[in-house]
Amino acid sequence: MHPRPRLGELGLGTGKKARLHRILHDHGLCNGTAFFLPYDQGLEHGPRDFFANPGAADPRYIVQLAIEGGFNGIVLQVGLAEKFYWDYAGEVPLVLKLNGKTEIPSDAEALSPVHATVEDAVRLGADAVGYTLYVGTPVQDKDFEQYRKVRADAHRLGMPLIVWAYPRGSAIEAKGGRDSFYAVDYAARTAAELGADVVKVNYPHPEKTEGVPVNYAGQFSVQEAMDSVVRSAGRTLLLVSGGGRAGDEAMLDKARSAMEAGATGLIFGRNVWQRERAESLRFVSALRDILAKHPSE
């Protein structure tokens, strides 16, 4: 297991340190771990994600769930943040997602266009911003150009930057796919190289070896892969994404394995709110039990 990096050794300026401290030590379990509730699926996938639990279409339902479930933060796009966060401002930290896209056009040249700014985040009292970087996309020049401005603004305004590091596009699909060990490991490192404070990755699948570089074509256990991904993130705090809805036990295993490897926390959306409310809270409680075993400074 990789030692979890301490907040004091991340090279952060005052504003970033203050805000990350608020997220990690004043909310959730207040033990240095993080548990975020992402709610950008209405843009990324459309309202179809709410059919399993129609109440979840209402942002109020979700913010209340984040508060009651004891999350460290909720992730919203600017429209919902402006129209729904005011009622609960200060009760749960806000992560403003600065880019996003619909699922309608092809992902072959994936790009998540920016539609909000770090200044919007400051204005709305957010404690972090989120940016989706499509690692390996054929249009990485556009992606990096957008990202550069976000990174610079986040630095200038002392706003922690969480990077959704998602391998995407035709090129990575031809080299093992978006969730191969190679892809996820590379994505974590890319976020670290480019200056993310926190990186969100999907769980790596070391068994997907077709087309990956030779180093990744060997036999790796899931835990070895996860360990490597955390190591690749270095001093960039790592969050594991829940992804689409799956069985609870599988999700809890994933969470345990990630925390064992040195992840700082979890970011689970659909697995949390695509079910009835009481069930959501029970599942959240089980995940919190895991986080409680991995306190960090």
Q: What's CA 157's distance to the chain center, in Å?
A: 21
> Rounded to the nearest whole angstrom, what is the least distance from the CB of residue 213 to a second copy in the complex?
5
Cα distances from 112 to residues 106, 142, 178, 289, in angstroms, run 12, 10, 16, 34
| Distance between CA atoms of residues 233 and 187, nearest Å | 9
Closer residue to a second copy, CB minimum distance, 190 or 255: 190
Closer residue to a second copy, CB minimum distance, 198 or 259: 198
Residue 17 falls in the annotated catalytic set: no
Q: What's CA 171's distance to the chain center, in Å?
A: 23
Closer residue to a second copy, CB minimum distance, 147 or 203: 147
161-167 and 237-241 as β-strands: parallel, antiparallel, unpaired? unpaired
Residue 200 falls in the annotated catalytic set: yes
Closer residue to a second copy, CB minimum distance, 26 or 87: 87
Four-CA torsion 265, 140, 232, 293, nearest 10 degrees? 0
Catalytic residue among 166, 182, 186, 203: 166
Closer residue to a second copy, CB minimum distance, 186 or 203: 186
Closer residue to a second copy, CB minimum distance, 120 or 279: 120
* 259 closest CA partner among 277, 281, 237, 235: 237
DSSP 103: S
b/e sequence 226-252, b meaning 16+ C-beta within 10 Å: bbbbbebbbebbbbbbbbebeeeeebe
Burial tier of 76 (Cβ tally within 10 Å: 0-12, 13-18, 19+): buried
H helical segments located in 112-205? 118-123, 140-157, 170-173, 181-193
Residue 35 bridge partners (DSSP): 266
> Rounded to the nearest whole angstrom, what is the least distance from the CB of residue 287 to a second copy in the complex?
26
Catalytic residue among 200, 203, 216, 254: 200
8 A C-beta contact, residue 37 and residue 62? yes
Give the residue numbers marked as catalytic.
Answer: 166, 200
